[in-house]
Amino acid sequence: MDMNELLTINLPRLQAMIDVSSKIGALADGGLCRLALSNEDKAMRDIFVNWLQDAGLTVRVDDFGNIYGRRKGKKPGAAPVMIGSHLDTQPAGGKFDGILGVLAGLEVVHVLNDHHIETEHPIEIVSFTNEEGARFQPPMLGSGGIAGVFEKDFILGRKDKEGRRFDEELKRVGYFGSAEDRPKDIHRYLELHIEQGPVLEKENFPVAAVEGISGMTWIEVTVTGESNHAGPTPMVMRRDALVVTAKMISVINQLVRVLDEDLTATTGQIKISPNVINCIPSTAVFSVDVRHPQDSVRGKAISMIQEKIATIAASGGVTVSTNVIWDIAATQFSQEIISYVYAGSTAHGYPVRSMISGAGHDAKYMNDIVPSAMIFVPSVKGRSHCQEEFTRWEDIEKGVNVLLYTVQALAQKTEERVDYHADGS
């Protein structure tokens, strides 16, 4: 890479693309609903494919509906540097989550085209199917498919709440491609994304080099007491599952606050039975989402949580059982790529800090098969997955400039390094 030529993006061009994409699936209140493989997703896919072709990229679609646009490189047989994210949104999502990373990749290609720059490695943009998991569960099916995390039959057989199958919807929207069009090899993977948290804005950093993704465990806790009439049953003689559950949630919250500042625990769901206004709850089922960058810390916290809730259950006269319903290890990203993110930030004069992502991203699964990393840009007030989601354009410009620098550096490297090959070689 010629370090004397510090390229910058055309922000108005990127803004124009996002202005178009923000109208696809737009809601009256200002949010977006572009669920995976919906009519709105199809409309966005069609536009995206046209944009890829207009940029001179060769387009293909694999059997999971992932869309690829390839810019050829000079080096025969070289594996591509891949830039990716997703087009789908939450049911009431924002206009930057996911699609910013995809369109940032397209802007990188436009800049290289503008300057007639040929890279040693090809550059490939990918939009992964169903990253959000809002329609088909679990999330990140497209990236998980090519990374081998999920079996093909499992992915294609996923159903939405109306019973529509993943493969049927791929065919309906015209994006059921071929397994032959999955990536055969990948040199490096890079993803730009909004932070979806408040740290960068609060600390006044326009860019973060993401070092990894926190590991995550979902636990389902079932508390069983005894249902009785709300009036005649004295308070001291009750076995109220909900009251004990409330204490458990409070103690879990207090525990993680003192264990480690990077540890989080969240209860997002509670179901009670019989759920009647004048009946003491006999059963409460609640979720606990535990996350930390180090698997050992997360494991220790989970053990302590289980001990605490067992003690609380015994003192409350109820029984408790726990079931781990999802467990995913922490991710450590490529230090080589991270070093370029820092170098690009320094070259442009941007403040940059390291960060661990608390949310899952396609880069999580891609890192299983190829050296990967992420770049974050700030989320105003930390808002995301909502209509208020916003990132300032000046921060977007800085983040994509760093992406451009990093991609160009990686794509121009000629020395041999370990690449991902689909055949395992």
Report the binding-site residues. 86, 97, 132, 193, 385
Partners of 22 in beta bridges: none
Partners of 332 in beta bridges: 212
Q: How far apart are CA 15 and CA 246, in angstroms?
A: 46
What size, in residues, is the chain? Answer: 425
Q: How far apart are CA 311 and CA 297, in angstroms?
A: 21
| 315-324 b/e (C-beta count within 10 Å ≥ 16 → b) | ebebebeeee
Report the binding-site residues for Zn(2+). 86, 97, 132, 193, 385
Q: How far apart are CA 274 and CA 241, in angstroms?
A: 11
> In the structure encoding, which two tokens stand for residue 364, read together?
């999580």
**3-state SS record for the chain:** CCCCCCCCCCHHHHHHHHHHHCCCCECCCCCECCCCCCHHHHHHHHHHHHHHHHCCCEEEEECCCCEEEEECCCCCCCCCEEEEEECCCCCCECCCCCHHHHHHHHHHHHHHHHCCCCCCCCEEEEEECCCCCCCCCCCCHHHHHHCCCCCHHHHHCCECCCCCEHHHHHHHHCCCCEHHHCCCEECEEEEEEECCCCHHHHHCCCEEEEEEECEEEEEEEEEECCCCECCCCCHHHCCCHHHHHHHHHHHHHHHHHHHCCCCEEECCCEEEECCCCCECCCEEEEEEEEEECCHHHHHHHHHHHHHHHHHHHHHCCCEEEEEEEEEECCEECCHHHHHHHHHHHHHHCCCEEEEEECCCCHHHHHCCCCCEEEEEECCHHHCCCCCCCCCCHHHHHHHHHHHHHHHHHHHHCCCCCCCEECCCC
